[in-house]
Amino acid sequence: MPHGGLCPSKSHRVKAVPREAATISSGPGMVHCLLQNAVGRVWGSGLRRGGCAAARLWQHIWPYSGTLLACAKKASKCGRRAQQATPGLVLGVYSKDKEDDVPQFTSAGENFNKLVDGKLRDILNMSGPPLKTGKTRTFYGLHQDFPSVVLVGLGKRTAGVDEQENWHEGKENIRAAIAAGCRQVQDLELSSVEVDPCGDAQAAAEGAVLGLYEYDDLKQRKKMAVSAKLHGSGDQEAWQKGVLFASGQNLARQLMETPANEMTPTRFAEIIEKHLRSASSKTEVHIRPKCWIEEQEMGSFLSVAKGSDEPPVFLEIHYRGSPSASEAPLVFVGKGITFDSGGISIKASANMDLMRADMGGAATICSAIVSAAKLNLPVNIIGLAPLCENMPSGRANKPGDVVRARNGKTIQVDNTDAEGRLILADALCYAHTFHPKLIINAATLTGAMDIALGSGATGVFTNSSWLWNKLFEASIETGDRVWRMPLFEHYTRQVVDCQLADVNNVGKYRSAGACTAAAFLKEFVTHPKWAHLDIAGVMTNKDEVPYLRKGMTGRPTRTLIEFLLRFSQDSA
């Protein structure tokens, strides 16, 4: 054989195809026909005389190169469409209990392994070391209905509530593993995925829906949108519950991530109104304008809002799920600073863009109420969100100014960047007018909270051990943890010792900033069941929570939903 040549024997020669016969429509058939024609010409004539087969083949193919390229592109596009229409499959596998054990599939994994005659276990055993918790391994071509199968490590089958970690380890493992598996399917550009319930369909759904979410509303190029559904005929009710919980958190993530020029106070209120009205007919929405805020004598709130050209809004939402319309409601209050520059006490420019999410308190409490409405919970809930920007201008609060809150207390504003507590003070006063069963407020209130707990847990300051226990129990279930912080008189003395007014908006000392902020809010609360959730530390995610992508987290929305669900069940 000449060097580099293709010299088939006579028995391997390919007969040339007449040019007029090559009239197959563009696509794989056309590509095959053109290649067969060109190869036949070379092998049927030129190669009998020797020479470089590759060069001769290229000479005969060259006239068709444009058509071949077009056909190949179309074939590739058709192939991608067919691939996208095929669902991916995510299956769980537990770690070994003992060193000499074999990894155990979930029930769904075992059934699939039987369907493919044991090939799944065989290929897993040959593919490397056992799967670690939250890690994935992808296999192809095992079954025509699922050409791509992603196995995910679930950790120990017996994992339950970890009293040291204060969460259900098994549920967290499922969320993390399923999120990783679904992202792998998304990377394969498949448009749908079937998900193994892994023994807890709700946790699996939460992992899938939370793990696939990424804010790309303003991008032209978006990742493949992947729809997740439960594999098999398992617990559809639990799956749908998980989808609802995760979708609630994703709504809060979207609100928090949206740029401040898009997510103004007015726009925020309109979005919540749309979601709440579509969730249930038992709802009512009031978007209160500036004149209403003035009538309510919310001077503390207005003092922050006046620095911006963007008009303030006081959002008031009602969900009336209780059979008794007169039943006392639960009131949720959320800080709604749609952008926080710090005002005259302006922040450093580094990372100031993250302050688009300073309305995270309003986002989480409103999203939780929307989810409660979708669940049709038999309880009355009111959500209050004072919404405005904190901006520097000739009209803005100045350090040393004194403002008057709705309850008549005067506040010395020594730091205009401690504005969240100013708008919450008036909202908390207003919350008492509904004679509620309890009041919970959420706010990205202090950087000190981030220093204290980081992203590990939401800090909870409360005057009610009963309320603390209910929030704590809910957080164990959701994995979105809370941690109790002190409301000592020690901190109250540091904010009421004020030169010009009844109370100062910052403490006397630099230390314990989260605690003095909570003590400030306590001055505007008389209800015996009140909790303040400082969510500043859990506002963003880098890589700490594996089933959330980098960005705004929407935490602790699922814990609030779980709290409402449990409260409604206890009250039934």
List the catalytic residues: 347, 421
Tokens of 426: 């008036």
SS3 462: strand
**Are the C-beta atoms of residues 503 and 418 closer than 8 Å to each other?**
no
Q: What residue has token string 């969100």?
A: 385
* Run of H or E including 18: none
Q: CA Rg, the chain, in Å?
A: 31
**Are the C-beta atoms of residues 563 and 477 closer than 8 Å to each other?**
no
38 burial (CB, 10 Å; 0-12 / 13-18 / 19+) is: buried
**Are the C-beta atoms of residues 138 and 120 closer than 8 Å to each other?**
no
Cα–Cα distances (Å) from 427 to 232, 268, 419, 542, in that order, read 48, 17, 13, 32
d(CA 427, CA 29): 70
**Are the C-beta atoms of residues 145 and 124 closer than 8 Å to each other?**
no
d(CA 255, CA 20): 61
* Run of H or E including 133: none
Q: What does the DSSP assignment read for 19-47?
A: GGG--PPTTHHHHHHHHHHHHHHHHHTGG
